[in-house]
Structure 1
Amino acid sequence: MTTRANPLTVLLTDPRGGRLGLGLPPGSLVTETNDGAWPEPLLWVADGVAAPGTWAEYSSARDVGLQPVLLQGESGGEEWWDGGLDRGMMSDPGDHHAEEVLKDFWESAASETEENEDDEDAGETIAPFTRSWPGIASPGRVPADPDTTAADVANALVGDSLESPRLALVPVGRSADLPAAIGWSGPVNFESDVARLCAVLRSWEDRFGVRVVALSHARLDLSVAAPPRTLAEALAVAAEHFAFCPDNIWQGYESIRVYAEEALVGNAHWTFWWD
């Protein structure tokens, strides 16, 4: 990831971010120790629970190089982002090609699926595809504004599936790089170098207007400004989702086709969860 001045260092002496034009509520910095033993802020996290409208209120932080994201904590105990982030495990998303990453993931997941299927069910999980990588999906059509869509999805999450989410700000140039930039390890049992997943997120950002909206211990929520509109389009995207996060199909839907029909057509919110 490109090295640039970290705007969060301003908050070390200006906790409300007045010099950045932010007017932040009470919060704290999550830092790492670099080779020089100086604390390097990874992100700022609000002390209070995010309310509907919080995302939109602080979305202007992007103008000073800070990407907003909602963090979902664990019930009880220390929050996963306190001592649970390791940026040193990550490469640079720019070092990876999205289609090569997806092809590698697809072949591994399709092979494992085939090994675990009964003879009578052979091929049904990944139908209409085969073990051969089907290629990437075409870009979405007539996108809405990605940042407006992100705010809408954030509001829906705050009011529904996220319990006591906290607003965080991350010093990174594009939303797709955010998980690797903070050293998030949610998919560690699937892929320890999250930068490879971020390369895919970059591609989705370009093709579908995706934004990273929320991170939990092992869950990723994205907004989608240009989701697939037909089943045929959704199937092509579903193949990428299966490669990116096989658990979405293995543990939630009986097949890629059902997943495409029920979770993707017209849906501006994509969720991934790794076991």
Structure 2
Amino acid sequence: MTTHSKPLIALVTDLMGGSLGRSLPPGSLVTQTNDGPWPEPLLWVADGIAAPGTWAEFLPARDVGLQPVLLQDESGSEEWWDGELDPGMMSDPGDHPAEEVLKDFWESAASETEENEDEEDAGETTAPLTGSWPGLASPGRWAADPATTAAAVAKGLVGHSLKSPRLALVPVGRTADIPAAIGWSGPVNYENDVARLCAVLRSWEDRFGVRVVALSYARLDLSVAAPPQTLNEALRIAAEHFAFCPDNIWQGYESIRLYAEEALVGSAHWTFWWD
């Protein structure tokens, strides 16, 4: 999968950030070495730590073909995006129907869960959604504008869950494509082709107003403009989350039902972490 680097190059050559209507802070390009004589730019990353409102300040970058995202270095010293990105491993998200991807992931996660559950606990993790893939959840009802929701979630993350995030700008048309476009490998122990996950993110963008606001080494933070409002709505979405990232349930909650109740109902922030 390739990115459209022209807007990124144009931005960084405009030292005053005139195309954004504001000054661009000190930063640098992260590049991928390709078969040609020149490196391919993947993203621009600020040198300094982002303030709570930084993500929202750079929303105008979307008008020139760039999407803002916060990058968090969990170690506090090593920049995982320097030398850890490999977009050449990724396919195109558009090649993967979201429901087929989730059905495949569900079957794999449910099978592994069944193998690891004790006889007396059989079925408890996925209850009340037992058996075959339950299908996609219905689209949610918009509670707010997606960009406004994303700005609020990003602001709340900075200084809390994200202790020292950097602002990055990525040349993609929609935030769902950011992980594959930059070659992020956070879920590598679970899925090598992150484009398959991005196909699901595209579907969540359309159904729930989701936006990718932050990436860490193995963590993904999303804002949600149309979160589920009832437990029944949340259960169907929880099934998709279990398929997308089983560790959310395996390592944090006793069951899909408990996850739906405590993490999804009314929540404008979804977090995924892969072990």
TM class by smaller structure: over 0.9
2-side partners of 1:86 and 1:259: how far apart?
32
1-side partners of 2:69 and 2:204: how far apart?
17
Post-superposition offset of 1:11: 4.2
Post-superposition offset of 1:130: 1.5
2:6 equivalent in structure 1:
6
Q: Is the 8 A contact 2:72 2:216 kept in 1?
A: yes
Post-superposition offset of 1:142: 2.9
235-244 vs 157-166, which moves further = 157-166
Residue by residue over 1:164-196, the C-alpha shift from the partner in whole angstroms, topping out at 9 and shown as x without a partner, is 111110000001001000000000000000000
2-side partners of 1:106 and 1:144: how far apart?
30
Post-superposition offset of 1:144: 1.1
2-side partners of 1:128 and 1:241: how far apart?
15
1:239 equivalent in structure 2:
239
Post-superposition offset of 1:159: 3.3
1:133 equivalent in structure 2:
133
Q: Which amino acid aligns with 2:118?
A: D
1:169–1:236 CA distance, 2 compared to 1 (3 A): same
127-136 vs 74-83, which moves further = 74-83
Q: Is the 8 A contact 1:143 1:209 kept in 2?
A: no
Residue by residue over 1:239-267, the C-alpha shift from the partner in whole angstroms, topping out at 9 and shown as x without a partner, is 00000000000000000000000000000
2-side partners of 1:258 and 1:8: how far apart?
43
Q: Is the 8 A contact 2:8 2:43 kept in 1?
A: yes
For the residue of structure 1 that corresponds to 2:202, the secondary structure is helix
1:212–1:185 CA distance, 2 compared to 1 (3 A): same
Instruction: Kindly indicate whether residue 144 of structure 2 is the aligned counterpart of residue 144 of structure 1.
Output: yes
1:160 equivalent in structure 2:
160
2-side partners of 1:3 and 1:40: how far apart?
9
2-side partners of 1:3 and 1:118: how far apart?
46
1-side partners of 2:173 and 2:83: how far apart?
24
Q: What are the residue-to-residue correspondences of 1:63-78 with 2, within 5 Å? A: 63-78=63-78
1:224 equivalent in structure 2:
224
2-side partners of 1:2 and 1:26: how far apart?
26
Post-superposition offset of 1:12: 4.8
1:51 equivalent in structure 2:
51
1:191 equivalent in structure 2:
191
Q: With structure 1 as the length reference, what TM-score do the two structures score? A: 0.96
1:21–1:34 CA distance, 2 compared to 1 (3 A): farther
Q: Is the 8 A contact 2:69 2:213 kept in 1?
A: yes
2:42 equivalent in structure 1:
42
2-side partners of 1:175 and 1:100: how far apart?
21
Residue by residue over 1:74-130, the C-alpha shift from the partner in whole angstroms, topping out at 9 and shown as x without a partner, is 324430000000000000000000000000000000000000000100000000112
For the residue of structure 2 that corresponds to 1:214, the secondary structure is strand
2-side partners of 1:214 and 1:108: how far apart?
27
For the residue of structure 2 that corresponds to 1:141, the secondary structure is coil
Q: CA RMSD in A?
A: 1.4
Residue by residue over 1:201-245, the C-alpha shift from the partner in whole angstroms, topping out at 9 and shown as x without a partner, is 000000000000000000000000000000000000000000000
Alignment size in residue pairs: 275
Q: Is the 8 A contact 1:50 1:166 kept in 2?
A: yes
Q: For structure 1, which runs of at least 5 residues remain unmatched after alignment?
A: none
Q: For structure 2, which runs of at least 5 residues remain unmatched after alignment?
A: none
1-side partners of 2:7 and 2:124: how far apart?
50
For the residue of structure 2 that corresponds to 1:168, the secondary structure is strand
Q: Is the 8 A contact 2:219 2:271 kept in 1?
A: yes
Q: Is the 8 A contact 1:16 1:26 kept in 2?
A: no
Q: With structure 2 as the length reference, what TM-score do the two structures score? A: 0.96
For the residue of structure 2 that corresponds to 1:228, the secondary structure is coil
2-side partners of 1:42 and 1:52: how far apart?
24
Q: Is the 8 A contact 1:143 1:208 kept in 2?
A: no
Instruction: Kindly indicate whether residue 39 of structure 2 is the aligned counterpart of residue 32 of structure 1.
Output: no
Post-superposition offset of 1:2: 7.6
2-side partners of 1:78 and 1:160: how far apart?
19
1:16–1:190 CA distance, 2 compared to 1 (3 A): farther
Q: What are the residue-to-residue correspondences of 1:210-221 with 2, within 5 Å? A: 210-221=210-221
1:4–1:86 CA distance, 2 compared to 1 (3 A): closer
